[in-house]
Structure 1
Amino acid sequence: MIKFFRQIRQELLSENKIWKYLKYALGEIVLVVIGILIALQINNWNDNRKELMRSKEYLEEIVKDLKLDTTNYNFSIAKLSSDIAIEEWALSQSTYSINQMDSVWKSFGGFYWENPMNDRTFQKIQNSGNSTLLGFEPLSDELTFYYTEMRNLLDSYTTWDKREVTQRQEYMRDLEHVIEISNYQLAILGKGLVKKNFETRQDSLQIKSLSIDFINSTRGRNHLKNNYTRHLRLKNVFERLNQNALSLIAKIEVELAD
């Protein structure tokens, strides 16, 4: 092809047809430019196609991360709902009997919540140098909101919850002066790790009676009320996070199906 064009140029020059040669040269330049533009367009199309496929792969991984988040959120919501129900029961009682003490101890609930968001894929996208998912720009904005604003909400509440439990709820220190921890309570504190029963120096009836005295005290009632409001607020946060995650999963699956 190059040889063919060279022959045409030589014939035009040899015949002294300068004007025709100039028009031909201009046409040849235009053809070269068009060829370059087509090649660039094809290259851009290939790059965009690869980036679009990469975005889809990221979204498929994000769906897995979000589903794991919803599993964790649902577990937290269920556990908090159980705690709230026991606390409502304990607060509604005017008197307590000895055989209700297992439920009373459950209502004390001195554990804080740690439920980190699973942002593995989102961080991978951020570290790739291209934080926007090509072809899915609206989803990129919603994902950024979830993994920044909603994560900040989660972190602030779990940090507050930990501070409330570790700094404010000192009821166990009061009880430890008068009540020996029973094997039942030891099993709860050990979270399944305690396999042995140990001798208690206090009579079980005495322990239960002292526990009832505490829950009837102003400090014990206030402890229950603090637990109750703390758990209600945490449950509300996890429900908001769960709804946001479920909405994102639905939107991503619709986009991937198209």
Structure 2
Amino acid sequence: MIKLFRNLRKKLIEQSKVLSPASPAGRYFFYAIGEIILVVIGILIALQINNWNQEKIGHNLERVYLHNLIGDLESQLLELERQRNNAQFVKEALKRVTANINNGFSEADLTQYNQDMQSIVITRTLNLYDATFQDLKSTGNLNLISNETLKQDILNYFQLSNRDVYVIRKNAEGYHYTITQEFMGSLLVNFDLKGMKNRLSTAASLSDSLSLVKFDPRVESLLNTQLANRLTDLDNQQKVKNMVSNRWYTIEINLQFSNEMANRTLKLITELKKELN
């Protein structure tokens, strides 16, 4: 490149000697024009090289972001799988609770019933893995994604995913409200701790106190009796049925959103991998 500039400069000087006027001022004028042209050409070439370097850096950074997006989406698939597995687990618990209410209870059913009720009452929210997307937005690097169709698909994906997470969270909040207002009160077990006060006061620690309550046969017997009596009450049975119905409905809605989100996630992963190849 330097050799080319030197040859070009030499040729311009030789041409200026032939074509330039006899006066020194004229010769220097042509020489200055040649120097200016060379400087301009050099600047343009330097700018072009800088642009090439910036494009290369941007392209490399784009690939890093695409790889990171794939990692987030694969984590999202695992999260959705956990969500669906949990939903199926709760549905089995709901079936057993319904069967217990319809067919009656035995003492042997109470332990499983308690476990099922815990599974039904506890809800699971859906986490959204969007760290890379948030980074793209906050830094303005979303424009690094050169494929406009892919960029729009990414935006649409996270817009819909935020909607799904919001719906699932609101379903959980609504269900918890129903449990608190209509159901938990019907299963509150109140019993007298008479006779245990002295034992608890002599316990060495809080954990020892809890162990005394947990493993005391009187407490377990009283809880089972109270629970069995309440479960045979028709009003309580209807409340349990309402809760089961409500829970089943929210699970079906959540499964629908989770399955749709999983399909969108797989589709976007395929697009991202195609762009990287």
- TM-score of the superposed pair, with normalisation by structure 1: 0.76
Which residue of the partner structure matches residue 47 of structure 1?
54
Q: 1-side partners of 2:99 and 2:273: how far apart?
A: 46
- What 5-or-longer segments of structure 2 have no aligned partner? 1-5, 24-28, 193-209
Q: Partner residue of 2:238?
A: 218
- The alignment yields a C-alpha RMSD, in angstroms, of 3.5
Matched, 1:209 2:228: yes
Shift of residue 58, structure 1, vs aligned partner? 0.7
Partner of 2:92: 85
Matched, 1:168 2:178: yes
Q: Which of 237, 241, 245 is the matching residue for 2:257?
A: 237
Distance (whole Å) between structure 2 residues aligned to residue 116 and residue 161 of structure 1: 13
Moved more, 220-229 or 106-115: 106-115
Partner amino acid for 2:238?
T
Instruction: Quote the residue 2:82 is aligned against.
Output: 75
**Contact 2:73–2:129 (Cα < 8 Å) also in 1:** yes
Change (3 A) 1:248 1:164: same
* TM-score, length basis structure 2: 0.72
Residue 133 of structure 2 corresponds to which residue in structure 1?
122
Residue 146 of structure 2 corresponds to 135
Cα deviations across residues 62-102 of structure 1 (Å, max 9, x unaligned)?
11111111111111110111111221343355213322233
> Is 2:79–2:126's contact at 8 Å kept on the other side of the alignment?
yes
Q: CA deviation at 1:209?
A: 1.4
Q: Cα–Cα, structure 1 residues 145 and 214, in superposed 2: closer, same or farther, change >3 Å? A: farther
1:227, distance to aligned residue in structure 2 (A): 1.0
| Matched residue, 2:202 | none
Q: Residue 114 of structure 1 contacts residue 158 of structure 1 at CA under 8 Å; is this kept in 2?
A: yes
| 1:122, distance to aligned residue in structure 2 (A) | 0.9
The whole-number CA distance in structure 2 between the counterparts of 1:230 and 1:214 is 26
1:42-66 C-alpha deviation (Å, 9 max, x unpaired): 3323222211110100111111111
Structure possessing the higher radius of gyration over alpha carbons: 2
Q: State how far apart, in whole Å, the 1-side matches of 2:239 and 2:145 are.
A: 57
Specify the code of the residue in structure 2 equivalent to 1:139: L
Q: Which has the higher contact order (CA 8 A, sep 6+)?
A: 1
Q: Which residue of 1 aligns with 2:105?
A: 97
- Residues 211 and 7 of structure 1, relative CA distance in 2, 3 Å threshold: farther
3-state SS of 2:232 partner: helix
> Where is the helix percentage greater, Structure 1 or Structure 2?
2
Q: Distance in 2 between matches of 1:141 and 1:96?
A: 56
Q: Pairwise mapping of residues 33-44 of structure 1 onto structure 2 (< 5 A)?
A: 37-44=44-51
Structure 1 residues without counterparts, runs of 5 or longer: 17-21, 181-194
* Greater Cα offset, 82-91 or 38-47: 38-47
Q: Are 2:258 and 1:248 equivalent residues in the alignment?
A: no
Aligned letter for 2:103? T
